[in-house]
Amino acid sequence: MGNLLFDQFRARIAGVDRPFIVLPAHKDAADRRLTYADMLALSGRMAAALVGCGVQPGDRVAAQVEKSAEAIVLYLACVRAGAVWLPLNTAYTLAELEYFLADARPKVVVCDPARVAEIEPLARRLDVARIETLDGDGAGSWSALAAAYGPAFEDVARAPDDAAAILYTSGTTGRPKGAVLSHGNLASNARTLAELWRYGPGDVLLHALPIFHTHGLFVATNVTLMAGASMIFLPRFDPGEILARMGQATVMMGVPTFYVRLVQQAGLTREACAGMRLFVSGSAPLLEETHRDWFERTGHRILERYGMTETNMNSSNPYDGERIAGTVGLPLPGVDIRVADPDTGLALPTGAVGMIEVRGPNVFGGYWGMPEKTAADFRADGFFITGDLGQFDAQGYLRIVGRAKDLVISGGYNVYPKEVEAEIDRLDGVAEAAVFGVPHPDFGEGVAAAVVLKPGAVLGERAVLDALAERLARYKQPKRVLFLDDLPRNAMGKVQKNRLREAFADLFARGA
């Protein structure tokens, strides 16, 4: 038995004489290129270093690091060593990290040198065996350690069901859950997408997404590896940089905010996009208006696809056929999608709105250490209940029309209101809080909080925001805090967030 995921990458990159990752240089220096041969050698050194640190197959390796080629190579080293890659958003605060490390119990933690002083005591307290550092330029104690090992490494055997990664997603209960993704999940999805989107070794992806979530890590990077293609690795999304590099690329993947911001650039023209063959959007709904504006400006129809952490990608608009704005396309080959009655799980007729449920080799096996939660989210026949509401049209295209889960998606990042409410409820003087999303011109949805104070309490918006700053990642913090006399409730006493969303629909309107 070989190493399922890495063997598939190996088969496709064998003999490819191209850069895997191109890192734009600072100032006038030349770009740095990590070839496929470099990647194989460095991932071998890092895999050997992991084993040297005592990492056994199945052990977790957590990393909260800036985007770098070395961070991607560390992910691949974990795959090769049979370890489980656990990437963490760089925006997470120490309070948030504590939960993830306590829950996943990693053997090794790699963090930015700038944060090691605060993370090390926490990691020690949680019995993490090794704490290493890696910065945005790929330097740090981790790279120094790996350099002491040779490049030859015999990949650890891994079967389709063996875990390759754990990605945390928050939950409606406010307690984040670790979705365990297997070698089989990742390999099958990357293979399907590379084929469907006609990926080849000549492709160059403009990569401006973060690498700690499904989109930038698995969709972008694994698809590139499945084709032996290249990526231009931008540290973050910057519209000017994207336009400057467009002439060297063939594909871009982004969240809708990327497209909204690029459309505002005068430099976005047909000429600028002449060498591009594909623009992909996902992670949040793309407005039909953005799809239309993009087509008018560039002559390209953005290809919208739909996925989630637990399932990888589920559906995609076609490469050759019609890409219909406002839909997330057709089920991927090998993936079953049904729109079901939320109570029974029985499929509903075409056109009816219901729960989107998914089954296929892309769907994860379960949440880390949460068998009851896992069981509750699957039907007896193996379909995963996404929490998204949708409908199929007569042509078989899926449209997402809403969410059954209480979730806000801001700039492609998920914010679970329950988690933010719990933090606001802790504050002195707060009687209760309701967190909800309303349309935002840049982020799609913006997070707002409605707060009811206890009688006589004095608390302002600034004080609430300041108190949250230490506890929650910046993107989860409300962009506005509103003080109300009471929260709207239904007859059962449940807070009616739809009424809050309606009442404050214009909160973030352009110019408001």
Q: Which residues bind ligand MLC (CB under 6 A)?
A: 209-210, 213-216, 236-237, 255, 257, 282-283, 307-309, 410-413, 443, 474-475
**Contact indicator for 316, 330 with CB cutoff of 8 Å:** yes
Helix (H) or strand (E) holding 125: helix 116-125
Q: How far is the CB of 307 from ligand AMP (least distance, A)?
A: 6
Give the C-alpha separation, 279 to 282, whole Å. 10
| Interface positions, 263-302, toward ligand AMP (CB under 6 A) | 282-285
Q: How far is the CB of 281 from ligand AMP (least distance, A)?
A: 7
Q: Compute how many other C-beta atoms are within 10 angstroms of the C-beta atom of residue 17.
A: 9
* Residue (50 or 234) nearer to ligand MLC, CB: 234
Helix (H) or strand (E) holding 165: strand 163-169
Q: Which of 214, 224, 327, 477 binds ligand AMP (CB under 6 A)?
A: 214
* Residue (421 or 445) nearer to ligand AMP, CB: 445
Q: Which pair of structure tokens corresponds to residue 407?
A: 């979730």
* Residue (308 or 500) nearer to ligand MLC, CB: 308
Q: Applying CB under 6 A, does 383 fall inside the site for ligand AMP? A: no
| Interface positions, 407-446, toward ligand AMP (CB under 6 A) | 409, 414
**Contact indicator for 73, 41 with CB cutoff of 8 Å:** no
Q: Which pair of structure tokens corresponds to residue 354?
A: 């219901």
| Interface positions, 111-170, toward ligand AMP (CB under 6 A) | 169
**Contact indicator for 231, 22 with CB cutoff of 8 Å:** yes
Q: How far is the CB of 384 from ligand AMP (least distance, A)?
A: 11
Q: How far is the CB of 170 from ligand AMP (least distance, A)?
A: 8
- Residue 449: CA count within 13 A, CB half-sphere: 29
Give the C-alpha separation, 41 to 39, whole Å. 5
Burial (CB count <10 Å: 0-12, 13-18, 19+), residue 500? buried
* Residue (299 or 333) nearer to ligand MLC, CB: 333
Q: Applying CB under 6 A, does 307 fall inside the site for ligand AMP? A: yes
Q: Which does 229 bind (CB under 5 to 8 A by kind): ligand MLC, ligand AMP, none?
A: none
Q: Which does 475 bind (CB under 5 to 8 A by kind): ligand AMP, ligand MLC, none?
A: ligand MLC
Q: How far is the CB of 419 from ligand MLC (least distance, A)?
A: 14
**Contact indicator for 295, 165 with CB cutoff of 8 Å:** no
| Angle of the 69-81 helix axis to the 4-13 helix axis, nearest 10 | 120
| Interface residue list for ligand AMP (CB under 6 A) | 169, 214, 282-285, 304, 306-309, 328, 386, 388, 400, 403, 409, 414
